[in-house]
């Protein structure tokens, strides 16, 4: 039986599309076009699927903001499915999200979340608070629980600049939609255990953005050293980690020509010393290029799906 569409209004659009309605785009879609919600598509009972998975994301606060970085590898079992996948996205002007888990579902969830925040701003005429964004993402993850129970989980990490508190903040999630604020730093994905160990040794709360970039890239390097599903810097193909900074000025991505010298320096220091600097510190001459990641891609360049 065919589902009846709402009566058409002006311009041929269904009348429901012309009313202001809820400030939640997800609720609107769930009511009028539920088939478009990723979590509404399930597998047959007992069904399984081997889909590409994103791997390691790290995030940390610094003096004046928050940073998020991700490796570029997606895996499917023991196969490298993609070498240059984007896993860190700007969700609006002052927040970013990194994805781990089933890559296709995660990217679709991010796209829906981006529209959700944009829709809220248009309807309410103001930005949603950072905690509001974190909670809204939690409810969307909770809606995916059925697919997570079938092995298609999505576990993002969310970070942004709190305009009221004037600090960078980090929020982690579990597959049930539980939302937890993390302090100082966090990591998700298959290499997160090794990345967290590196972050514990290198992190300082008073770091500059340049020092934070160095620490994040080094944590991803350490994760790739022990986790085969995490992609290390690919010097041969010139594929570098994705790095985003969020400050009071907004979200911006560090360009490859500023990430590359940091990677080169880490690799040079690891020759004959694969474990890294003893008692490593992010300061001093190894903090990264003096120019620093002050420019680069704007937030819109990394909004959306994989490259």
Which of the residues are catalytic?
55
Please name which of 84, 72, 89, 106 lies closest in space to residue 303, comparing C-alpha atoms: 89
Mark 233-252 as b/e (b = at least 16 C-beta within 10 Å).
bbeeeebbbbbbbbbeebbb
DSSP state of 168: E
Q: How far apart are CA 99 and CA 188, in angstroms?
A: 8
Point out which residues pair with 76 in neighbouring strands. 79
Q: What is the CA radius of gyration of the chain?
A: 20
DSSP state of 279: T
Query: How many beta carbons lie within 10 A of that of residue 17, not counting itself?
Result: 14
What are all long-range contacts of 267-271, with beta carbons under 8 Å and residues at least 24 apart? 267/233, 267/235, 270/221
For residue 82, give every residue at least 6 positions away whose Cβ sits within 8 Å of its Cβ, in sequence order, or none: 52, 72, 73, 74, 103, 306
Give alpha helix (H) positions in the chain: 25-32, 103-124, 130-142, 145-148, 192-202, 209-226, 256-270
Strands across the sheet containing 179-182? 88-92, 95-98, 157-162, 167-173, 179-182
The total number of residues written for the chain in this structure: 307
């Amino acid at each position: 039986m065919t589902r009846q569409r709402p009566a058409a209004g002006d311009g041929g659009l269904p009348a429901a599309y012309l009313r202001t309605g809820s400030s939640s785009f997800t609720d609107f879609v769930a009511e009028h076009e539920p088939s478009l919600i990723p979590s509404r598509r399930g597998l047959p009972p007992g069904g399984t699927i081997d889909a590409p998975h994103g791997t390691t994301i790290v995030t940390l606060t610094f003096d004046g903001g928050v940073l998020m970085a991700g490796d570029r590898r997606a895996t499917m079992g023991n196969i490298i499915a993609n070498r240059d996948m984007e896993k860190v996205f700007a969700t609006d002007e002052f927040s970013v999200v990194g994805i781990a888990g089933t890559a296709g579902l995660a990217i679709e969830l991010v796209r829906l979340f981006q529209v959700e925040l944009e829709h809220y701003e248009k309807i309410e005429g103001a930005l949603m608070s950072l905690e509001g964004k974190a909670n809204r993402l939690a409810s969307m993850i909770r809606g995916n629980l059925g697919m997570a129970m079938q092995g298609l989980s999505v576990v993002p990490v969310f970070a942004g600049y709190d305009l009221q508190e004037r600090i960078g903040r980090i929020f982690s999630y579990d597959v049930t939609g539980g939302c937890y604020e993390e302090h100082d730093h966090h990591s998700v994905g298959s290499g997160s255990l090794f990345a967290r160990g590196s972050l514990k040794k290198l992190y300082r709360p008073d770091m500059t953005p340049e020092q934070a970039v160095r620490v994040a890239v080094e944590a991803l390097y350490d994760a790739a050293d022990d986790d085969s599903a995490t992609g290390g810097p690919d010097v041969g193909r010139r594929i570098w980690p994705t790095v985003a900074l969020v400050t009071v000025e907004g979200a911006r991505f560090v360009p490859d020509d500023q990430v590359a010298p940091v990677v080169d320096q880490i690799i040079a220091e690891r020759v004959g010393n694969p474990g890294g600097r003893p008692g490593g510190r992010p300061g001093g001459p190894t903090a990264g290029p003096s120019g620093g990641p002050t420019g680069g891609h704007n937030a819109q360049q990394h909004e959306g799906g994989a490259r």
